[in-house]
């Protein structure tokens, strides 16, 4: 009887998919998204599996992978969020954003 790594069956990392972030195999759902839904939003693993049509094993594998690589995943997530915020601050408002401000009676900066 040979020992086979089970988590490799459920987690994939491909440079051209999801920015090379670990994800549930056969999907574009990053491990970080599963961790956020579970840890920050309070979703149960069962509901996550059901809502995204995933096997419960794949969702548990995502959490196992997250806990094993938590520091790297959290760092990459924080870096991505900081980049998005910087881009948001440094970009001009879209025509839609300007129109919504006009409708609300807000002043543009």
Q: What tokens appear for 104 in the block?
A: 């609300």
For the structural domain made of 7-104, what CATH number should be given?
1.10.10.10
pLDDT exceeds cutoff 80 at 109:
no
Contact 74, 22 (CB under 8 A): no
Say what the pLDDT of residue 18 is: 87
Determine the Cα–Cα distance for residues 62 and 45; give it in Å rounded to an integer.
10
Q: Identify any residues that bridge with 24 across adjacent strands, giving them in sequence order.
A: 11
Determine the Cα–Cα distance for residues 57 and 72; give it in Å rounded to an integer.
23
Contact 27, 54 (CB under 8 A): yes
For the stretch 20-66, pLDDT in tens is 899 999 999 999 999 999 999 999 999 999 999 999 999 999 999 99
The overall average pLDDT reported for the chain is: 89
Contact 49, 63 (CB under 8 A): no
Could you tell me the pLDDT band of residue 97, with boundaries at 50, 70 and 90?
Answer: confident
Q: Identify any residues that bridge with 30 across adjacent strands, giving them in sequence order.
A: 23
Domain boundaries, the chain: 7-104
């Amino acid at each position: 009887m040979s020992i086979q790594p089970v988590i490799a069956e459920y987690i994939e990392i491909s440079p051209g998919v999801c920015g090379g972030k670990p994800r549930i195999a056969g999907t574009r759902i990053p491990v970080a998204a599963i961790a956020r839904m579970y840890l920050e939003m309070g979703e149960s693993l069962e509901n996550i599996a059901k809502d995204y049509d995933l096997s419960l094993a794949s969702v548990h594998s995502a959490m196992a992978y997250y806990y094993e690589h938590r520091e790297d995943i959290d760092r990459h997530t924080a870096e991505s969020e900081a980049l998005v915020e910087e881009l948001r601050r440094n970009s001009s408002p879209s025509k839609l954003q300007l129109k919504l401000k006009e409708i609300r009676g807000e002043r543009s900066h």
